[in-house]
Structures are given as structure tokens and as C-alpha cells.
Amino acid sequence: MARRVCFSGNSIGLLFLPLLIGCEIAAPQTRPLLGVWKTVPASIQVPITIERLAILYPKSYNRLLMDAYARLEGAAFQLKEQRPRLRIVDRFHLPTILDEQRFQLGGSVSEQTAISLGRLLGVDSVLLFSIEGPTVRDHTIARFTGDLPPFTLTSKIIRVESAEVVFHNVVTSRVEAFGGWMPPVFSESHMPPVVRAAVDRGVAQTIADLRHAFRLHIEER
């Protein structure tokens, strides 16, 4: 005769409590996407003492990179969901500060420039983004070889007072082969889909790694 086993609501709750706690403490997986490599180890966690953050990245007139930087900045604001005490400092007045101090965010942003800007903005840390990709010369050569260099997305968090780097990740996203075809005149309007796809993968991996590094354990909440 089959035995009937009954559980009360409280019993079920107690039964699954260890599983729920285990899920809460376990760090989310951040396996790299196909064709993407990263350098930050899964064990890295951004210190809980970082509470006021400014986001900096170089100026770009490339529509593809502008969109990528905007997505990275938007994802940084979403980190507040994981750390409610985190404050992202508004960069609205940043152009005025740059003019007054004669800082230039063209090309690349040095760590010292980022630290100086962080002090002016009154933050304890700065999140620095940088994207490097194929040049016009690379695209010209690719018309004959069919190969393009990868995109490299660097993200770094630096403490303003100590200049300590507490997070440093380099994501490399390969441009898939496109059979050697390239438009006669390369432009943003004639950009091969595989180029956009490479940037998208790099951005997605960078965001996933940031979210993983900003995770909180139960005892820290």
C-alpha cells in the first residue's frame, strides 16, 4: 500500500531554506561568451566601502562606440539595484569642470586625470571605461585578408584618495570571419554586422563582470 506523505507549509519552508540560502550566497556565473575573453577572476569583489562613484570614458565621434559607452554607463547605474547605498555622481557639470581645468577626454583617459576629476566631483572612486577597436587601416587590409583585429573593452575602478585599482578587467571580443568581403568605402552606414556583433558581445561581457564584482553576500546587506 502506498504511503501518503504530507507536508505543512512551514515544513516546506524549512526544507527549502538551505537551498535558498545557498543560492543567495553563491556568486552568479560569468562564463565568457563565445569568442570573448576576459581577465578579471570570478573571485574579485568590489569593496563595500565604495559608495560614491563617477563614470568616465573618452569622447568618441564613432556612433558604434558612442552607443557602447552609453550602454556601459546605463549598466553602471543599474548597479544600485545590487547596492542600494551606491551613489552615482551626476556628470552634468563635467564639461564645465573640464574647461576650467583644461582636461581633455579625447583618445584615452589616464589614471591620474581620472583621479583628479574624481576629486573635483567629490567621489571616493571612479569607474573608467575604454574601448579600442580596428582602425581605418585595419579595415582597409581586411578587404583583402578577411580578418579584423578584436575589440578590447577595459573597465577599471580606482580609489580617488589612494589611487588603488580595486577592479581591472580587459574583455577581448573577436570579430568573426566575414568571408573577406568589405564595403568599397568603409563607414558607419556600411559597417558589417559581425563588427557590431563583436562590440555587443564585449559590452555584454563587461556588464556581466561588473555586476558579478558588485555582488553582495547576505551578511553585507
Residues linked to residue 81 through DSSP beta bridges, in sequence order:
none
Measured distance CA(45)–CA(214) in Å, rounded = 6
Residues with Cβ within 8 Å of residue 52, at least 6 apart in sequence: 87, 89, 122, 123, 124, 125
Sole residue written with cell 569607474: 127
Q: Which three cell numbers stand for residue 118?
A: 574624481
pLDDT at 16 over 50: no
pLDDT digit string, tens, across residues 28-59: 445 667 789 999 999 999 999 999 999 988 88
pLDDT at 127 over 90: yes
Q: Are strands 125-132 and 165-173 parallel, antiparallel or unpaired?
A: unpaired
pLDDT of res. 80: 93
pLDDT band with cut points at 50, 70 and 90 for residue 115: confident
**Side-chain half-sphere exposure of 30, counting CA atoms within 13 A:** 27
Q: Which has the higher per-residue pLDDT, 169 or 12?
A: 169
Measured distance CA(124)–CA(109) in Å, rounded = 18
pLDDT of res. 93: 60
Sole residue written with cell 588603488: 164
pLDDT of res. 31: 66
**Which pTM does this prediction carry?**
0.77
Domains of the chain listed by start with CATH number = 31-220 (3.40.50.10610)
| Secondary structure element (H or E) that encloses residue 135, with its range | none
Measured distance CA(201)–CA(172) in Å, rounded = 9
Residues of the chain with pLDDT > 90: what percent?
45
How confident is the model over 142-155, as a mean pLDDT? 86
pLDDT at 100 over 60: no
